[in-house]
Homo-oligomer: A and B are copies of this chain.
């Protein structure tokens, strides 16, 4: 769709935009302008004059469009880990009589780790209950306070049914948090339509904000003024520049701010989002499915050594395809050495992201051709490859 808008090194087929998106062509200029004309010329007055202080909500609204979130329900800041912590802490306080946080073992580990750290600190008898993804529905019992799920499994690409699960959980009095790390910019999301309570996500994958780009948090509009922030930083205060000794939360989504926002990263992200403003998410999804279906078909035809680890039904899959292979780590290194960049996730997952903004049919066909050669000739086992790997 927009391959020309990205810097992609010659000879590289990049199928790892689900881990770190490539550099958009306009990002460097935007960051230079921010540094030179805003920081360099305005210095401290840039917070108001250049609108730095408003970037977190302005960019939040731009992302909101991609995830079905109304204006004023998304704000940027911190990292996904921090946003998970904020969401779980807030959700628990909305459901104080219950002690279980439910998640699944397909969730990205930091979501589980941050919850463990929170629950350990609270020391109030909470429990993190981790089940298999397919057992979530059956595990939505009346003792569950919070359901914390990542919509798209980072290893297999398996997609949860966000609308159905949210409805089931809320019918049981459970507060629902969705992690959209592998959803935002990957497929259509309808947070408001699903009535999700909270959502979090990152912006360095499909959204191409750059390494360490800030995270986002969504809080449903009617919940916002009931949220008691655990991470009650000064910029979430209702009047930060009054320098009160007592925290009083800001109105609406503003109270999910914590500290000073990272303005260089936000400038880069803002430039990257220019590429999204006219994207139709249904069209993007159709292209993503076409690419991944083609990839599966070609790999299964040419590389019988690999076993599909992703759901076969594209409606149950995000925008990535994974294959299992016992020597997957070494095979992926060989693939990367040949310019086809995917990634490996323990224990045996070779993972390939399909990002229609810059991935085309020819990339898919080219990648499979190289993969086939690597598999047929077990390139990772050859002395030449081993020697080269030892050197670099």
Interface residues of A (CB under 8 A from B): 7, 9, 12, 14, 16, 19-20, 22-23, 27-28, 31-32, 35-36, 39-41, 43-47, 52, 78-82, 85, 89, 93, 105, 108-110, 112-114, 116-118, 120-124, 130, 155, 202, 204, 210-215, 228-235, 237, 240-247, 258-266, 268, 336, 341, 343, 345-346
Contacts and interface: CB of A to CB of B under 8 A. Distances in A.
A7 B32 CA distance: 13
- Assembly of this chain: how many copies? 2
A240 B232 CA distance: 28
Contacts of A112: 245-247
B211 A260 contact: yes
Contacts of A346: 241-243
A212 B35 contact: no
Nearest to A211: B263
Contacts of A258: 79, 81-82
16 contacts: A9-B40, A22-B43, A23-B36, A31-B31, A46-B211, A80-B260, A81-B259, A89-B121, A109-B247, A110-B259, A113-B233, A114-B233, A118-B121, A210-B263, A262-B265, A264-B264
A262 B262 contact: yes
B211 A39 contact: yes
Contacts of A7: 36, 40-41
A44 B259 contact: no
A264 B260 contact: no
A46 B19 CA distance: 12
A85 B58 CA distance: 27
